[in-house]
Chain A
Amino acid sequence: MSSIKIRSKRIDGNTQIRVLITHPMEHGRNRDKTTNRLIPAHFIQELTLSLNQTVLVNCVMGTSISKDPYFSFMLKGGKTGDLINIIWVDNLGNKDAADHTLK
Chain B
Amino acid sequence: MTNFRRQFIKKTATVAVAMASGLLRIPRAHAFWKTEDFAPGLLDATLKRLVLNQKITDTNQISIKIPLIAENGALVPVSVSTTLANVKSISLLVEKNPVPLAIRFELSPALEASVSARLKMAETADVIALIETSDGFYRAKERVKVTIGGCGG
B133 to A: closest C-beta gap in Å:
16
Of the 9-residue stretches A2-10, A67-75, A95-103, which lies at the interface with chain B? A67-75
CA distance A63 to B30 in the complex (A): 20
Chain B interface size, under 10 / 10 to 19 / 20 to 34 / 35 or more: 35 or more
Q: Is the CB of B110 within 8 A of A75?
A: yes
B16 to A: closest C-beta gap in Å:
24
B142 to A: closest C-beta gap in Å:
15
Tell me which residues from 46 to 70 in chain A have a Cβ below 8 Å from any Cβ of chain B.
46, 48, 51, 54-67, 69-70
Q: Which residue of B lies closest to A91 (CB)?
A: B33
Tell me which residues from 4 to 41 in chain A have a Cβ below 8 Å from any Cβ of chain B.
14, 25, 27, 29-31, 33
What are some 11 contacts across the A-B interface (CB < 8 A)? A25-B120, A27-B98, A29-B98, A45-B33, A62-B103, A63-B120, A70-B116, A71-B115, A71-B116, A72-B116, A73-B114
Q: Does B126 contact A (CB under 8 A)?
A: no
